[in-house]
């Protein structure tokens, strides 16, 4: 391999790292899992759908699947103990499990509020606390929380979801501030509008997709695979001085948008920009 190749490999390699990911069987989690495995990581894939997590793990070298319910602190403790017993340590925790239900702020039932809060925010807190104790004991670690576009911007019908994701970013800062002394870093990845089986319907919708394309500088949804690069970087030593931040991967969605025409000598025919 060339000198550049050697250097990049040393910086970004996840060789020997044990990576625990929640929500690992989902649209984004499963793609991240494959990417992290290709970079050399060994994965503990944890999900409510334990059988799906195990199926995914069986195709990834040195990895294993675990069933967990992040709503249940006993289940979290058992899962973390099981992963630590199996692999001996946990170098990276990726909190990826998350749910949403779009409805008006006035319509949200208390059970819905509790469920979204419980999975997206309390689950991240309790999981990070359990793994954080393990990391302090082993001398360090690295946490990556999955936020969202809605942690900074708000869309109608996402009040509880947005509040949980802003909370996840606040927790990320708290972990960075309190745990740097234990050699633990914490960052968040905030995906923009990503094309997954659950969001395909929006991208095929005649008016919603136009609104989205007008707001996203790159005028297309992201692919789950486009989150892999930053995830490998944050999980690896390439990001050794990065902590306490949320990184938006959104094709320029937070920049503002471009919904109407303006004069320019340098126009591109937008209809020729890639749709997906």
Give the residue with the Cβ less far from ligand NAD, 49 or 55. Answer: 49
8 Å CB contact between 161 and 148: yes
* Cβ-based neighbour number of residue 15 at 10 Å: 11
Give the residue closest to ligand NAD by C-beta.
26
Strand-pairing partners, residue 143, are 93, 186
Give the residue with the Cβ less far from ligand NAD, 7 or 223. Answer: 223
Give the residue with the Cβ less far from ligand NAD, 142 or 150. Answer: 150
Active site residue 161: yes
Q: For residue 190, give every residue at least 6 positions away whose Cβ sits within 8 Å of its Cβ, in sequence order, or none.
A: 146, 147, 148, 149, 151, 152, 165, 169, 246, 247, 248, 249, 250
Selection from 115, 96, 92 nearest residue 194 by Cα: 96
The one catalytic residue among 113, 161, 241, 247: 161
Task: Name the DSSP letter for residue 222.
Answer: B
Sign of the Cα torsion 252, 120, 47, 138 reads positive
Give the residue with the Cβ less far from ligand NAD, 5 or 274. Answer: 274
φ and ψ at residue 19, rounded to 5 degrees = -120, 115
Binding footprint of ligand NAD on the chain (CB under 6 A):
22-23, 25-29, 47-49, 68-71, 96-99, 119, 146, 148-149, 191, 193-194, 196, 198-199
Supply the residues annotated as catalytic. Answer: 161
């Amino acid at each position: 391999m060339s000198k550049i190749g050697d250097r990049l490999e040393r910086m970004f390699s996840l060789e020997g790292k044990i990576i625990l990911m929640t929500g690992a069987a989902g649209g984004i989690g499963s793609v991240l899992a494959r990417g992290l495995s290709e970079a050399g990581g060994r994965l503990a894939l944890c999900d409510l759908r334990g059988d799906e997590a195990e199926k995914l793990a069986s195709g990834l070298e040195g990895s294993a699947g675990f069933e967990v319910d992040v709503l249940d602190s006993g289940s979290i403790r058992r899962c973390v103990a099981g992963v630590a017993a199996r692999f001996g340590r946990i170098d990276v925790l990726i909190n990826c499990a998350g749910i949403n239900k779009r409805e008006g702020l006035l319509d949200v039932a208390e059970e819905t509020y509790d469920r979204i809060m419980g999975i997206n925010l309390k689950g991240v807190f309790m999981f990070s606390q359990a793994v954080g104790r393990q990391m302090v004991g082993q001398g360090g670690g690295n946490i990556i929380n999955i936020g969202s576009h809605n942690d900074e911007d708000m869309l109608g019908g996402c009040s509880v979801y947005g509040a949980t994701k802003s909370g996840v970013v606040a927790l990320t800062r708290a972990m960075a501030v309190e745990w740097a002394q234990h050699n633990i870093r914490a960052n968040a990845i905030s995906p923009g509008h990503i094309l997954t089986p659950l969001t395909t319907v929006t991208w095929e919708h005649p008016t919603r997709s136009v609104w989205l394309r007008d707001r996203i500088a790159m005028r297309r949804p992201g692919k789950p695979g486009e989150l892999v690069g930053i995830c490998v970087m944050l999980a690896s030593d390439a990001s050794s001085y990065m902590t306490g931040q949320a990184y938006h991967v959104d094709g320029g969605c937070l920049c503002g948008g471009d919904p109407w025409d303006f004069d320019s000598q340098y126009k591109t025919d937008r209809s020729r920009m890639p749709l997906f």
